C-alpha cells in the first residue's frame, strides 16, 4: 500500500525532469516504501502528465508582444520579449511516455496508484470551487485534486497529504485544512525532509 501522499501534476513532473534535482531527491526519499517509491495520484494527474510531457516536447516559441497598457504619459509602446525554449527530442519524449506508463502500471521502481474520478470526487471538487475559487487562484483540475482528497477521506477514512508547489492550490488547501507538502520548499535546516506548509 502506498504511503498517504497524493502527488499533484507539478510535483509528479519532477520524476520526468531535471529542473529541480534536489527537490526530486527529497521527494523520492519521502516516498520510499518497501523498496519502491510509492504514492497516490488522482486520475486527473494521470491524464495531465501526458499534456505536460507534450508541452515539454513542443517547447516554447520565442515571442514578441507590443505593450498596449495605458500609462501616465499615454499608451506604452515597449515591446516585451518572451524567451523561447527548445522542445525535448523524440527519443527522450518516447522514454518519458514509457516511464509514465510504467509508473502508472505499477512496474518499476516508481509506482503511482491512481485514485479514480467518480461522482463523489466531482461533487467534492465542485464544492471546493464554490467555497474557495472566489478567494484563491486555482483551477478546475486543481479542484479535482482537492476533491479526490476530500472524497477519499469521507469514503474510506484515508487522510492524504497533497504534495504540490502550486501556490494558489496550496493556500486553498490550507484554508480547507488539507495537509500539504511543497517539494520545492526544501528546508535548509532539515535538508533530508520536505517542508510541511
At 163 the pLDDT is 97
State the cell numbers at 71. Answer: 500609462
- DSSP letter, residue 87: P
- Residue 167: count other Cβ atoms within 10 Å of its Cβ: 12
Q: Which helix (H) or strand (E) holds 122?
A: helix 119-132
Q: Which of 84, 7, 71 is nearest to 39 (CA)?
A: 7
Q: Which of 119, 158, 153, 145 is nearest to 46 (CA)?
A: 145
Q: Give long-range contacts, CB 8 A cutoff, 24+ apart: 120-123.
A: 120/151, 120/154, 120/155, 121/42, 121/147, 121/148, 121/151, 121/152, 122/147, 123/147, 123/151
At 152 the pLDDT is 95
At 196 the pLDDT is 54
At 186 the pLDDT is 59
| Maximum C-alpha span of the chain | 65
Per-residue confidence of the chain (197 residues) as pLDDT tens digits? Answer: 678 999 999 999 999 998 889 999 999 999 999 899 999 999 999 999 999 999 999 987 777 878 777 888 777 878 877 777 788 899 999 999 999 999 999 888 999 999 999 999 999 999 999 999 999 999 999 999 999 999 999 998 889 999 999 999 999 999 999 999 999 885 433 444 454 55
Which pTM value belongs to this model? 0.83
Strands 161-163 and 5-7: parallel
Amino acid at each position: 500500500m502506498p504511503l498517504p501522499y497524493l502527488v499533484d501534476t507539478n510535483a509528479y513532473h519532477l520524476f520526468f525532469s531535471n529542473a529541480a534535482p534536489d527537490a526530486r531527491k527529497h521527494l523520492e526519499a519521502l516516498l520510499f516504501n518497501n523498496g519502491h517509491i510509492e504514492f497516490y495520484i488522482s486520475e486527473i494527474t494521470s491524464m495531465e502528465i501526458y499534456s505536460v510531457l507534450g508541452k515539454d516536447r513542443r517547447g516554447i516559441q520565442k515571442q514578441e508582444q507590443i505593450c498596449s497598457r495605458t500609462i501616465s504619459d499615454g499608451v506604452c509602446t515597449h515591446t516585451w520579449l518572451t524567451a523561447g525554449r527548445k522542445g525535448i527530442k523524440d527519443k527522450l519524449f518516447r522514454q518519458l511516455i514509457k516511464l509514465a506508463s510504467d509508473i502508472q502500471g505499477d512496474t518499476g521502481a516508481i509506482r503511482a496508484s491512481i485514485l479514480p474520478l467518480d461522482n463523489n470526487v466531482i461533487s467534492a471538487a465542485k464544492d471546493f470551487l464554490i467555497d474557495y475559487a472566489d478567494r484563491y487562484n486555482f483551477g478546475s483540475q486543481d479542484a479535482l485534486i482537492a476533491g479526490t482528497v476530500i472524497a477519499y477521506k469521507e469514503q474510506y477514512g484515508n487522510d492524504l497529504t497533497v504534495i504540490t508547489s502550486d501556490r494558489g492550490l496550496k493556500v486553498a488547501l490550507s484554508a480547507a485544512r488539507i495537509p500539504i507538502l511543497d517539494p520545492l520548499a526544501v528546508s535548509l535546516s532539515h535538508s533530508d525532509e520536505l517542508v510541511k506548509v
